[in-house]
């Protein structure tokens, strides 16, 4: 019989399938949905409505003074960027490893995305990498807490303060994560969350923006609801805002979901940290690193290999893990955001006109942007599922397989 190349001589580490996500919705969601429908109105702006109760719960969970509900994570980011009220043509520094939503928020405000390189073990931008791409046009930073692992925030907060930059946290992948005892999303001016169906909590689509003070909150509220000023003094339509409202239906589901966050995030944190320590010290294997004082909520688990040490690329390493019965595959995205076609061609608006660049009076060439560490991360990282439906046995099997595969390769 022909043996596939990657098949181990021994029997595979794991012969039973990995568990999928457990059921995410139950009677609680249904109860709140019924309450929403019984109101005879699904409009969000009611004092005891489901969106209001969800926001209250979110504020308690995050220990944040104010929150605004939105229709998506992208909407949350757009509201946060718009409410930072930056002059068109300003530069906003963010990560080249992120969801397009981060850049949509920048581009639709007629601002210019600038990409800072990432740390090789946290996969996040750092104060140093931000500093390296800062110019006299920089007005804001969007720190993306990729995979649920917080950026090293103290130096980033200090840098943004010193340079008077608006600091926005993209917490879409980091529900339940914290930095030095504070929830992510409360460390900068605004924190943007997503409740889309792939995130820790789902209400189908939705989002939350955290604000640290009343003035910032009112601005975000208005930018999320057409500047009808429903939360303020009734001074309407003073500025331009989109309609990013959440309905009571999403609010109902999101309220029930927030009640589960602590158990979801703590389970993921425990399993992810367990996996990292189990695969530390293996030659050629570079575990996921969480910065000191931070807690990751592990949206997924990502680690890297050093092909120079192991003599294979990450695709071969993944195939060998698969042969051991472990789900694993190539990292999070295929290329740095700055090298996606929309950036290479600056195809942001029809007709090849990019108003932000015109206003800036400066030409941007994303093909020339170099993010070498990001390139290394994206070509050497392996992604594995990690969620609350898994157990210690599952992560221990994954760790055992990584150790065996790396050991086999090192012996060749
Ligand atoms: C999911 C995600 C978004 C966008 O959220 P949507 O709800 O899909 O609009 C933005 N940034 C990051 C890092 C994300 O993972």
- The whole-number mean pLDDT for each consecutive block of 10 residues of the chain, a chain of 412 residues, reads 53 96 97 98 97 98 98 99 98 98 98 98 98 98 98 98 98 98 98 98 98 97 96 88 98 98 98 98 96 98 97 98 97 95 97 95 98 98 98 98 96 85
Task: Please give the angle made by the CA atoms of 128, 78 and 166, to the nearest 5 degrees.
Answer: 40
CA of 178: how far to CAs of 62, 165, 210, in Å? 9, 22, 14
Q: Biggest alpha carbon distance in the chain? A: 78
3-state secondary structure of 380: helix
CA of 200 to the centre of ligand 1 (A): 12
Structure tokens at 12: 């595979």
CA of 46 to the centre of ligand 1 (A): 27
Task: Please give the angle made by the CA atoms of 38, 39 and 40, to the nearest 5 degrees.
Answer: 85
Structure tokens at 39: 């109101």
Ligand 1 atom with the shortest distance to the CA of 206: 7
Burial class (CB in 10 A: 0-12, 13-18, 19+), 367: exposed
**Which residues contact residue 324 at a Cβ distance below 8 angstroms, ignoring those fewer than 6 apart?**
8, 12, 13, 14, 401, 404, 405
Strands 112-115 and 91-94: parallel
CA of 266 to the centre of ligand 1 (A): 21
Whether ligand 1 lies within 6 angstroms of the CB of 184 is answered as no
User: To test the ligand 1 pocket, which listed residue (143, 173, 197) has its Cβ within 8 A of the most ligand atoms?
Assistant: 173
pLDDT of residue 3: 45
Whether ligand 1 lies within 6 angstroms of the CB of 247 is answered as no
Whether ligand 1 lies within 6 angstroms of the CB of 76 is answered as no
pTM value surpassing 0.85 = yes
3-state secondary structure of 5: coil
CA of 373 to the centre of ligand 1 (A): 23
Q: How far apart are CA 295 and CA 181, in angstroms?
A: 9
Whether ligand 1 lies within 6 angstroms of the CB of 101 is answered as yes
User: To test the ligand 1 pocket, which listed residue (170, 171, 257) has its Cβ within 8 A of the most ligand atoms?
Assistant: 170
Ligand 1 atom with the shortest distance to the CA of 195: 7
Whether ligand 1 lies within 6 angstroms of the CB of 170 is answered as yes
pLDDT of residue 2: 43
Determine which residue's CA is closest to atom 7 belonging to ligand 1: 73
Whether ligand 1 lies within 6 angstroms of the CB of 194 is answered as yes
CA of 81 to the centre of ligand 1 (A): 14
Neighbours of 59 (CB within 10 A): 16
Per the CB < 8 A criterion, the answer to whether 298 and 290 are in contact is no
């Amino acid at each position: 019989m022909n043996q596939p190349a990657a098949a181990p001589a021994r029997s595979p580490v794991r012969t039973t399938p990995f568990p999928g996500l457990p059921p995410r919705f139950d009677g609680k969601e249904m109860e709140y949905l019924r309450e929403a429908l019984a109101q005879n109105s699904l409009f969000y702006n009611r004092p005891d409505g489901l969106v209001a109760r969800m926001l209250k719960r979110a504020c308690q969970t995050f220990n944040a003074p104010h929150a605004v509900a939105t229709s998506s994570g992208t909407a949350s980011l757009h509201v946060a960027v718009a409410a930072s009220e930056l002059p068109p043509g300003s530069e906003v520094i963010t990560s080249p490893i992120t969801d397009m939503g981060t850049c949509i928020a920048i581009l639709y405000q007629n601002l210019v995305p600038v990409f800072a390189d990432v740390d090789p073990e946290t996969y996040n931008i750092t104060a140093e990498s931000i500093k390296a791409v800062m110019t006299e046009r920089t007005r804001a930073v969007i720190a993306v807490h990729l995979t649920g692992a917080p950026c090293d925030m103290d130096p980033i907060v200090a840098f943004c303060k010193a340079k008077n930059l608006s600091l926005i946290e993209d917490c879409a992948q980091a529900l339940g994560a914290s930095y030095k005892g504070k929830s992510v999303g409360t460390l900068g001016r605004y924190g943007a969350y997503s409740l889309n169906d792939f995130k820790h909590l789902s209400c189908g689509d939705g989002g939350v923006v955290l604000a640290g003070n009343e003035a910032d909150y009112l601005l975000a509220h208005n930018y999320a609801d057409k500047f009808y000023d429903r939360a303020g003094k009734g001074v309407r339509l003073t500025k331009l805002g989109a309609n990013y409202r959440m309905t009571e239906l999403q609010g109902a589901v999101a309220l029930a979901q927030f009640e589960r966050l602590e158990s979801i995030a703590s389970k993921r944190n425990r399993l992810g940290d367990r996996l990292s320590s189990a695969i530390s010290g293996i030659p050629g294997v570079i575990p996921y690193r969480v910065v000191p004082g931070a807690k990751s909520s592990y949206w997924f688990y990502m680690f890297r290999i050093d092909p120079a040490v192991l003599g294979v690329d990450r695709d071969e390493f993944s195939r060998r893990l698969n042969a051991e019965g472990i789900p694993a595959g190539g990292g999070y995205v295929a290329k740095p955001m700055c090298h996606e076609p929309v950036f290479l061609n600056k195809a942001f608006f029809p007709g090849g006109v990019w108003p932000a660049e015109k206003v800036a009076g400066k030409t941007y060439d994303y093909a020339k942007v170099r993010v070498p560490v990001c390139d290394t991360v994206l070509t050497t990282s392996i992604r594995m599922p990690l969620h609350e439906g898994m157990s210690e046995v599952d992560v221990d099997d994954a760790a055992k397989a990584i150790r065996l595969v790396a050991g086999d390769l090192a012996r060749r």
